[in-house]
Structure 1
Amino acid sequence: MAIDKEHTPHAEYLALMRDGELKPDPDQARAVDALEHLHQALNQYSPPNAQSGGWLSRLFSHTDSVSSSPKGVYLFGGVGRGKSMLMDLFYETAPLSTKRRVHFQEFMLDIHERLRSWHSLSMQQRKLALKNIVFDKKVDFDDPMPAIAHQIISTTTLLCFDELQVTDIADAMVVARLFQELFNRGLIVVSTSNRAPDDLYKDGLNRHHFTPFIDRIKERMEIIPLNGPVDYRYDRLKGVETYFHPVNEETTAKLSTIFFRLTDRDIADRDKVPSGELVVQGRKLFVPKSARGVAVFSFKRLCASPLGAAEYLAIAKTYHTVIMVAIPQFTDENTSEAIRFMHFIDALYEHNVKFLCSAVAPPQQLYCSGNIGFEFERVISRLMEMQSEDYLISGHGKSLSKSV
Structure 2
Amino acid sequence: MSAILTLNAGSSSVKFGVYQVAEEPVLLLKGQVENLGPLARMKLQGGAAEEIGPADHAVALHEILHAIQPALDGRVVMGVGHRIVHGGKSFGEPEVLTERVLAKLRTLEQLAPLHQPHNLAAVYAAQKEFPESVQIGCFDTAFHRGHPFVNDTFALPRKYYEHGVRRYGFHGLSYDYITSCLRHDWPDLYKGRVVVAHLGNGASMCAIRGGQSVGSTMGFSALDGLPMGTRCGQLDPGVLLYLMAQGMGADEISNLLYHDSGLKGLSEISHDMRTLLDSDDPRAAQAVDYYVFRIRRELGAMAAILGGIDGLVFCGGIGEHAAAIRARVLEGMEFLGLAENAAANAASETRIGAGATEVLVIPTDEERVIARSVADALLA
TM-score under structure 2 length normalisation? 0.25
> Which of the pair has the greater relative contact order for Cα pairs under 8 Å at 6+ separation?
1
Task: State the TM-score, normalized to the length of structure 1.
Answer: 0.24
